[in-house]
Amino acid sequence: MFEIKAKDNMGRVGVLKTKHGDVKTPALMPVIHPRKQAIDVAKYGADIVITNAYLIYKDDELKKEAVEKGLHELIHFDGPIMTDSGSFQLSVYGDVEITNKEVLEFQELIQTDIGTSLDIPTAPFVDREKAEEDLKITIERAKEAVAFKKENNIEMLLNSVVQGSTFLDLRRECAKELSALDADLYPIGAVVPLMESYHYKDLVDVVMNSMKELSDTVPRHLMGAGHPMIFALCVAMGCDLFDSAAYILYAEDDRLLSTRGTFKLENLQEMPCSCEVCTKYTPDDLRAMPKKQRRDLIAQHNLHVSFAELRLIRQAIYDGNLMELVEERCRAHPALLEAVRHLSNYSEDLEKYDPRSKKSAFFYTGPESLGRSEVLRHIQKLRQMPKKRDLIILPSSKKPYSKFISGKLGDFYAYGDDHEIDFDDTDFMVLDIPFGLIPLEIDEVYPLSQSDAPKTRDVDSMEFIEDFVSEFIEYYDQVLIHKRVAGDLDMDLSEGEMYGGDVRYQKDDVKKVKAIADYQFGIGAGEALFKGNINIEKSKKTGKIRHIYDGKTLIVNMRASDSYLILSKEGAKRLHSAMPYPQNRVVVNEDSVPFALDGKSVFCKFVVECDENIRAKDEVLIVDEDDKLLAYGKSLLGACEIEQFETGQAIKTRKGMKK
């Protein structure tokens, strides 16, 4: 019913399968009023729409036509249709003249693709007693809806809406209970008031706490979110579907949507984009038109902007630079900027879903970039890596740093124990924005080399780096800090003494690949993989390491784009022998064993356990329940998703161990 095709942070490009066609997500569902249909939204890019089953039910003429002809013919749309149950009217008017069971039966009768139970939308910031009472009814109705579908063997997909107002524990409780019901989609409801009042920070809390308990195997729908300005942020939090009537409601009021906000026609001297409407007409042309003609053209523009933004977001997910787009878009409004900064409080949740390697380089766009998964992950790895006795901190230079560092490295201040520096027992690291410190042995690993930041450093990044370095150097007996670095860190130079000896860095390829293995697979992997008669083969064109052998036996290849190690059969054996269970492992059931041995790809439904630290695109070992090595390959999903999905590929197997 739902497959993930690409992912970045919690954002994913997916395919939602329905009886009226497939929908590529993230997707916008324009709201179609069953009686006031203004324009053909399919003509402008809509693959799926949403309409209101309750309005059709209450209108005798529409109800009769919908029952006789079906919903698709009623609203003249051939693709998938979602229907709301009347919850919006319930939130506005306080009551509706239909029961939960009646609206479910009616949605099935008129052949909707995705129906919705009659949840209770609880407004933000109500008292807790009210929120708890409403939530109890919402969950009871969701259970009734799922039972109704199963008992009647209904094909209609079913929404179960997450409610709980702005009480985050209630949102989590609701999401957990609904996930256990095994519905088909999970909308997050009653968030429109937050968006209308620019409470985007609260929106982040509501969405992220709902996501904590929602299944990764189904689409998540943010109800009523239709302004393109917020799409990128919401997709990064895991939202797959959006719906809104904003395209036509704003057009009725002569307002044009954009990713930078909303423009009033009366104030426009230039058209805001390059869509067909904006290139064909001027603001004066639109102002001179009859109301209906002007409304329809502005609605077309609004749809164009919305669908174009979603295409851009999907491409950003494919490329791996979704968070850069989020940071760019959130500068359109101070409340959005506050929201993306607040999102950094959920960095650990985002990191679980974020691939370690991506197509795009990491661009630092401002202090918000310090909260990204890549930064969190590197600092955690750095703290875990074994420390030598002493540390030398060098200033940043051209990347990759290790390629351009040679000869005498300059003047240094010494801090800590006053003893002779043993350069073989010393870690060489470069001060870097935003990754803090980068060991020279691993500086070519993504994204440490594949990154860029402005040379003019902002206050937030420097405070971040200073705090990290001050804490990190406590692990070492003695620290030599380059004079330029000491100045950058605003350190009290009176605490250190000028180091009198020469400081030189000696490149060692074996140490390099061992450090990369430890960084990639875990401490101890380097020594396990690279023992024996190590022979390193480099590219004649670039000088980069390409293949690493023990004598003539291939152990690993090194991928040129990100310097991650790709296991060979021998490498998989060595890693498996040395690393403790379940590290780097995906465990498959007995039924899957012969297929894995033959080198067949592993599907999610056959996985019984996996290392929780596995992320999409990681090199993994495939083992049986007795930890026998069966194969090795590349993970297509992260551990969270592998354990939840019952369909689709989990691991693209590179080779089985069968002789």
Q: Got the DSSP string for 48-72? A: -EEEEHHHHHH-HHHHHHHHHH-HH
pLDDT at residue 491, rounded to an integer: 66
| pLDDT average, residue stretch 292-298 | 97
Distances (CA, A) of 491 to 293, 333, 455, 485: 66, 36, 20, 9
- Asked if 480 and 499 count as a contact pair (C-beta separation under 8 A), the reply is yes
Q: What letter would DSSP give residue 31? A: B
Q: How far apart are CA 51 and CA 81, in angstroms?
A: 7
- Coil, strand or helix at 312: helix
pLDDT in tens, 49-93: 999 999 999 999 999 999 999 999 999 999 999 999 887 666 665
Length of the chain as a residue count: 659
Specify the domain boundaries for CATH 2.30.130.10 within the chain.
580-659
Helix or strand holding residue 596 (H, E): helix 593-597
Pair of tokens at residue 424: 């073989």
pLDDT at residue 563, rounded to an integer: 96
Phi and psi angles of residue 111, each rounded to the nearest 5 degrees, phi first: 70, 40
Is the pLDDT reported for residue 428 higher than 90?
Answer: yes
Percentage of the chain lying above the pLDDT 90 cut: 87
Q: How far apart are CA 516 and CA 511, in angstroms?
A: 9
- Asked if 160 and 221 count as a contact pair (C-beta separation under 8 A), the reply is no
Banded pLDDT at 265 (limits 50, 70, 90)? very high
- Coil, strand or helix at 587: strand
Give Cβ neighbours of residue 221 (< 8 Å, ≥ 6 apart).
159, 185, 186, 187, 188, 239, 240, 241, 242, 243
Specify the domain boundaries for CATH 3.20.20.105 within the chain.
2-351
- Asked if 396 and 432 count as a contact pair (C-beta separation under 8 A), the reply is yes
Q: How far apart are CA 334 and CA 125, in angstroms?
A: 22
CA of residue 177 relative to chain centroid, distance: 24
Is the pLDDT reported for residue 375 higher than 70?
Answer: yes
* Number of neighbouring beta carbons within 10 Å of residue 13: 21
Is the pLDDT reported for residue 24 higher than 70?
Answer: yes
Q: How far apart are CA 526 and CA 552, in angstroms?
A: 19
Active site residues: 84
Bridge partners of 416, per DSSP, are 478
pLDDT in tens, 543-582: 999 999 999 999 999 999 999 999 999 999 999 999 999 9
Give Cβ neighbours of residue 64 (< 8 Å, ≥ 6 apart).
none
Percentage of the chain lying above the pLDDT 70 cut: 98
Q: What is the dihedral of CA 456, 458, 459, 460, to 10 degrees?
A: -140
Q: How far apart are CA 557 and CA 546, in angstroms?
A: 6
CA of residue 185 relative to chain centroid, distance: 19
Is the pLDDT reported for residue 230 higher than 70?
Answer: yes
Q: How far apart are CA 2 and CA 644, in angstroms?
A: 12
Fold of 2-351: TIM Barrel (3.20.20)
pLDDT at residue 208, rounded to an integer: 98
Nearest to 435 by CA among 504, 362, 386, 508: 362
Q: Which amino acid is at 67?
A: V
pLDDT at residue 493, rounded to an integer: 57
Pair of tokens at residue 233: 């942020």
Helix or strand holding residue 274 (H, E): none
pLDDT at residue 86, rounded to an integer: 80
Q: How far apart are CA 512 and CA 409, in angstroms?
A: 19
pLDDT in tens, 104-141: 999 999 999 999 999 999 999 999 999 999 999 999 99
| pLDDT average, residue stretch 328-345 | 96
| pLDDT average, residue stretch 378-404 | 92
Domain 580-659 in this protein, CATH class = mainly beta
Give Cβ neighbours of residue 481 (< 8 Å, ≥ 6 apart).
392, 393, 412, 413, 415, 489, 491, 496
- Asked if 113 and 154 count as a contact pair (C-beta separation under 8 A), the reply is no
Pair of tokens at residue 99: 């029961």
pLDDT at residue 96, rounded to an integer: 75
| pLDDT average, residue stretch 635-639 | 95
Q: Which amino acid is at 215?
A: S
Phi and psi angles of residue 51, each rounded to the nearest 5 degrees, phi first: -140, 175
When the pLDDT of each residue in the chain is averaged and rounded to a whole number, the result is 94
What's the sign of the alpha-carbon dihedral 415, 421, 423, 426? negative
pLDDT at residue 312, rounded to an integer: 98
pLDDT at residue 95, rounded to an integer: 67
Is the pLDDT reported for residue 419 higher than 90?
Answer: no
Bridge partners of 654, per DSSP, are none
Strands 255-258 and 362-363, how do they pair? Answer: unpaired
Banded pLDDT at 315 (limits 50, 70, 90)? very high
Distances (CA, A) of 120 to 130, 131, 461: 11, 9, 44
Q: How far apart are CA 448 and CA 88, in angstroms?
A: 48
pLDDT at residue 9, rounded to an integer: 93
CATH, domain range 520-579: 3.10.450.90
Specify the domain boundaries for CATH 3.10.450.90 within the chain.
520-579
Q: How far apart are CA 351 and CA 153, in angstroms?
A: 39
Helix or strand holding residue 299 (H, E): helix 291-319
- Asked if 51 and 33 count as a contact pair (C-beta separation under 8 A), the reply is yes
Alpha helix segments (H runs only) across 432-546? 459-472, 483-488, 509-521, 525-529
Phi and psi angles of residue 308, each rounded to the nearest 5 degrees, phi first: -65, -40
Q: How far apart are CA 458 and CA 367, in angstroms?
A: 8
Q: How far apart are CA 84 and CA 107, in angstroms?
A: 9
pLDDT in tens, 139-179: 999 999 999 999 999 999 999 999 999 999 999 999 999 99
- Coil, strand or helix at 39: coil
| pLDDT average, residue stretch 288-314 | 97
The answer for 260, left when phi > 0, alpha when psi is -120 to 50, beta otherwise, is: alpha
pLDDT at residue 659, rounded to an integer: 62
